[in-house]
Amino acid sequence: MSAGTESTSPRRRGRRPAGEDTRRALLDAARRSFAEHGFAGATVRGIAAEAGVDAAMVNHWFGGKEGLFASAMELPLDPKRISEMLLTGPLEEMGERIVRTFLSVWDGAGGGAFVALMRSASSNETAARMLREFISNVVFGPITRRVGPDRPELRAALCGTQISGLGMVRYVIKLEPLASADHDTLAAAIAPNLQRYLTGDLGPTSTPT
């Protein structure tokens, strides 16, 4: 396969290839669109139009909307791929898979951009919205809609509190002994809570009076 398609405009010395310009334009447009409309409201077609490119370029560069979201947030993981990984295997072990998967990703990146996003979320509404979208619509929402017996939105939010709390305490606050605990210890302690959030009984549903 040849390198990126030649631009019709004159090439300037030192300028990046046209393909990289397209990718960067898509990322800039995606960050604005996701921040303004959220993951569900932002569309591939709208993002591509704002970037001035064909919508097919999103699939070409990022593999779809989820991959574009991950790249726009500078996440060290593809949300679609991680959801597929978490859904593969015994349902009763999903809580443990979630803990181990996130710890492996985070430890491999030294916390990574996702932890930077959590750090910013307390003071920046754009970062807070991106974090909410990641928890509710990109990773845990699709999982709880598939495996949860009821109230998938609540289950996704509860899973989000557990995982983002773990990330905050381990990588931002660095509270010991949790900050240096091994994965086996953390999985044994946290996975049962996550498993109940995913598939267990959450108690009675409140009704308006």
Please list the pLDDT of the chain residue by residue as tens digits (209 residues): 444 443 333 333 333 345 678 888 999 898 888 777 777 788 999 999 999 999 999 999 988 888 888 787 766 566 677 777 888 899 999 999 999 988 988 887 666 666 777 777 777 777 787 778 778 877 899 899 999 999 999 999 999 999 888 988 998 889 999 999 999 999 999 999 999 999 999 988 765 55
Tell me the whole-structure pTM to 2 decimals.
0.68
Radius of gyration of the chain (CA): 19
Question: Which contacts qualify for 46-55: CB closer than 8 Å, 24 or more apart?
Answer: 51/22, 51/25, 51/26, 52/25, 53/22, 53/25, 53/26
pLDDT for position 2: 42
